[in-house]
Amino acid sequence: MDKFTHCPLCYEELLVVETTPCISCGSSKTSLKILKQDIEENFSHDSINYSIYRAFEKFEVMLCNICTLDFTSVASEFFRFKKEKTINPSDFQFLKIIKNPAIGKDKFCPSCNMRLAYLLFIEKTREINPR
Ligand SMILES: [Zn+2]
Ligand SMILES: [Zn+2]
């Protein structure tokens, strides 16, 4: 875990929480419950899967198959892309699936309701899209 103690976007103090590999929904209670159950059951049935993607041709991020689809509903302006740009599944290039995903820890901003890995991804994307 990195040295951050405060949220890079809103400067709220960060908490430490359990997470799945997904940077987007990784701290949600539902995703944690599903992954814990999958680990217990030795991934014996189809469930959420986690993969590494190259986002916007620049950043490697870990996402679950559900959040990858959800990204298309995120306003591109949130990442400071131009208004005309729509976020497409092709903005996330599949690199490889994560075998045996495990529960980890990350910091979490209670105000933004996002984990640090996602906040840093937003921050880095905004940096390549200066206003
Ligand atoms: Zn997810
Ligand atoms: Zn925040």
How confident is the model over 68-82, as pLDDT tens digits?
888 888 878 888 998
- Interval between CA 1 and ligand 2 midpoint (Å): 17
Alpha carbons 72 and 52: distance in angstroms, whole number:
17
Mean pLDDT of 104-126: 95
Residue 88: band (very low, low, confident or very high) from pLDDT cuts 50, 70, 90? confident
Burial label for 121, CB within 10 Å (0-12, 13-18, 19+), is: buried
Calculate the CA 79 to chain-centre distance: 14
Q: Using alpha carbons only, how large is the chain's radius of gyration in Å?
A: 15
Output the six-digit token pair for 93.
Answer: 């290039």
Q: Which ligand is nearest to the CA of 53?
A: 1
Q: Which ligand is nearest to the CA of 11?
A: 2
- Interval between CA 77 and ligand 2 midpoint (Å): 18
- Interval between CA 17 and ligand 2 midpoint (Å): 14
Q: Which ligand is nearest to the CA of 49?
A: 1
Statement: the pTM of the whole predicted model exceeds 0.85: yes
Buried b (16+ CB within 10 A) or exposed e, 36-70: eebeeeeeeeeebbbbebebbeeeebbbbeebbee
